Chains A and B, each alone.
Chain A
Amino acid sequence: MELLMTTLVSGAVLGALYALMASGLSLVWTTLGVFNFAHGALMMIGAFVAWTVSEPLGLGLWVGMIAGVGAAALLGVIIEFLLVRPFYGRPNMLLITVMTTLAAMIIMEKAAQIIWGARLKQLPRLIDGDVSFFGAVFSAHEALIVLIAPMILIALWAFATKTATGRSLRAVGQNQDAAALLGINVPLTFALAFGLGAGLAGLTGVLLGGIRFVTPSLGVEPLVKAMIVVIFGGLGSLGATVGAAFVIGMAEAFLVLFVGLYWTPFMLFFGLIIVLVFRPNGLFGRA
């Protein structure tokens, strides 16, 4: 019972983290049709900036979090402007932007190494202490992530469906010409989507920084996970991405329990391939 609870809780924590990691990637993909390989590096930048502001500058974690999210969002807008915008409308835009965002990732990782060095850093946790849940003990920080993630995702959903700006984001993702003909500023919407996606990456990075060590390669594994989640969900709506995140989080937690840490990534990718064979549009994608 205790083991089952511990596994379920750990699955929920992973699912919440994956949902946060993937939501920004999914937002950029559905709006711009760009698969942002710099998404993980933006998480890392968010974590480092938050660390600098909260630790050496001593302004506290909450100020650090705002700074980290802001820095990542700003960098996202810059990446969109310099490395994505020049290639809109090209027939091979998807491949070009894979290369340019990959370049952005490498630049940011090397820059982080120069600026912050190779020594491991850790962000303070949002709250200290442990929480016990039906015999399963986990940190209060992780409990907070499980609570915060759905709130952020619901806020994102409300923004996308209930506000004029959010609707224009979805409209641009589905039909750029038609959106422009209604008076929507398409380039501005692109920058907004990229900035918002990057901000979400930054926030994820700050939350990750309380669990893992902050290093220049902090974002590598989360990027891969986010991609699995987005593809698994069917490259579609936010709901599908969140659903896929929790399916994968739970699957990973139980796989670690049954086949061990070593075989888990293999089994995850194997599962992804099986799902894509039978459902080429992803788990929640429509045929």
Chain B
Amino acid sequence: MTNVLNIEGIEAAYGNVTVLRGINLHVGQGESIGLFGPNGHGKTTLLRVISGLMKPTAGKVTFDGVDITAARPPVIVSKGLVQSQQGNTLFGDMGVAETLQMAAFTKPARAQAKQSLAQVYGLFPRLAERGPQKAKTLSGGERQMLSIGAALMCAPRLLLLDEPTLGLSPKLKEELAVALKEISASVPVVVVEQDVELLLSLADRLYLIEHGEVEREIGQDDAPDHQEIMEMYFGEHAG
């Protein structure tokens, strides 16, 4: 059986600054994976490359066996590979309900817009209460919910989530973690997160990304303890 997502030797750069140095990873059928590692080491860049927002300088991305390396974002989204960006305000002057309605833009998304909306409001009842409110007046947590909700409206078959709990209070983070678990039960996810414990509860396998490379692959059975995680982030003598 082919992998859902295959990433082979992806390299990418901003101008002269190389960010990704040959990333290899894969997402199997029905599998969720997590990406973690220090900030500024290429996790967000990798997601931008997968979604088509950025062209890699080398390597290949295939989704469902189809090469999407050179495809533009709308083509990739309509195939069901959907990304929710990091700390994203989406469209500041647009209301919550209108944003969700518009987010079902591609043909497959429009066909199941009603069910998707029910799912989003079920996961995030707060969004239903905020219907006409403009996105820029939402709290950080609500923006994150809207961003994830909008991605769910796109009829994802694989959902890329970039630091969904970034900058949230512990209480909000817990709330969102529950929703994320519910989401990952119905649609496979690729989650970028700093919180490894949260990642382990969501994903089947984790990749540690450092210096633009996959430094380590972690399965559920060889899950690291707290001390090990600290060492991965801060070096041998941390903690």
> Which residues of chain A have a CB within 8 Å of any CB of chain B?
161, 164, 167-168, 170-171, 174-175, 177-185, 237
Stretch of B19-27, B80-88, B193-201 on the interface side: B80-88
Contact A175 B83 (CB under 8 A): no
Tell me whether A181 and B91 are in contact (CB under 8 A). no
Total A-B residue pairs with C-beta atoms closer than 8 Å?
Answer: 68
Decide if B66 is an interface residue (CB 8 Å cutoff): no
Chain B stretch 118-168: residues in CB contact (< 8 A) with chain A: 150-151, 153-154
Task: Decide if B93 touches A182 in the complex (CB within 8 Å).
Answer: no
Q: Is A182 touching B92 in the complex (CB atoms < 8 A)?
A: no
A177:B103 contact, CB within 8 angstroms:
no
By a CB distance below 8 angstroms, the chain B residues around A174 are: 90-94
- Interface contacts beyond A180-B73, A181-B82, A182-B106: sample of 11 additional A-B pairs, CB < 8 Å, sorted by A: A167-B102, A168-B102, A178-B91, A179-B91, A180-B72, A180-B74, A181-B51, A181-B84, A181-B151, A182-B150, A185-B74
Question: Which of chain B's residues have a CB closer than 8 A to the CB of A184?
Answer: 74, 105
Contacts of B106 in A (CB 8 A): 182-183
Docked Cα-Cα span, A177 to B52, in Å, equals 10
**CB of B89 within 8 A of chain A?**
yes
Chain A to chain B: the 6 pairs with minimum beta-carbon distance, closest first: A183-B77, A180-B73, A183-B106, A174-B91, A167-B102, A183-B105
Q: Would A181 and B93 count as touching, CB distance under 8 A?
A: no
Would B85 and A182 count as touching, CB distance under 8 A? no
Using A167-B98, A184-B74 as known contacts, say yes or no to A177 and B85 having CB atoms under 8 A apart.
yes
Q: How far is the CB of B40 from chain A (nearest CB, A)?
A: 19
What is the bound-complex CA distance between A182 and B75, given in angstroms?
10
Question: Do the beta carbons of B77 and A171 come within 8 Å of each other?
Answer: no
- Pick 11 A–B contacts, CB within 8 A, sort by A: A168-B102, A170-B93, A175-B88, A175-B92, A179-B91, A181-B73, A181-B83, A181-B85, A182-B106, A183-B106, A185-B74
Residues of chain B within 8 A of A185, CB atoms compared: 72, 74
Complex CA gap A182/B104 in Å reads 7
Bound-complex Cα distance A184 to B102 (A): 10
CA A184 – CA B77 in complex, angstroms?
Answer: 9
Contact A183 B91 (CB under 8 A): no
CB <8 Å contact, B78 and A183: yes
Most chain B CB within 10 A, of A164, A171, A182, A184, is at A182
Query: Contact: A177 with B93, CB < 8 Å?
Result: no
Q: Which B residues are CB-close (under 8 A) to A164?
A: 102, 105
Q: Which residues of B contact A (CB under 8 A)?
A: 51-53, 72-74, 77-78, 82-85, 88-94, 98, 101-103, 105-106, 109, 150-151, 153-154
Among B51, B91, B154: residue with most chain A CB under 10 A: B91
**Alpha-carbon distance between A19 and B101 when the two chains are bound, in angstroms:** 30
Chain B residues, CB < 8 A from A175: 88-92
Which residues on A sit within 8 Å (CB–CB) of B89? 175
Return B195 CB to nearest CB of chain A, in Å: 24
In the complex, A178→B94 CA distance in Å? 13
| With A170-B91, A171-B91 as contacts: A182 and B53 at CB distance below 8 Å | no
A94 to chain B, nearest CB (A): 20
Q: What distance in Å separates the Cβ of B79 from its nearest Cβ neighbour in chain A?
A: 10
Shortest A281–chain B CB gap in Å is: 14
Residue of A nearest to B75 (CB): A183
Provide the bound-state CA to CA distance between A179 and B94, in Å. Answer: 12
Q: In the assembled complex, which residues on chain A have CB atoms less than 8 Å from the CB atom of B102?
A: 164, 167-168, 171, 182
Question: How far does the Cβ of A153 sit from chain B's closest Cβ, in whole Å?
Answer: 18
Name the residue among B73, B82, B84 with the largest chain A CB count within 10 angstroms.
B73
Q: How far is the CB of A160 from chain B (nearest CB, A)?
A: 11
A183 and B92 contact, CB distance less than 8 A: no
Which of A179, A181, A185, A237 has its CB near the most chain B CB atoms (within 10 A)?
Answer: A181
Residues on B with beta carbons closer than 8 Å to the beta carbon of A171: 91, 94, 102
| Smallest CB separation, B109 vs chain A (Å) | 7
Q: Which of B72, B88, B93 lies in contact with A178, CB distance below 8 A?
A: B88
**A183 x B73 contact (CB < 8 A):** yes
Q: How far is the CB of A237 from chain B (nearest CB, A)?
A: 8
Nearest-Cβ distance from residue A107 to partner chain B, whole angstroms: 31
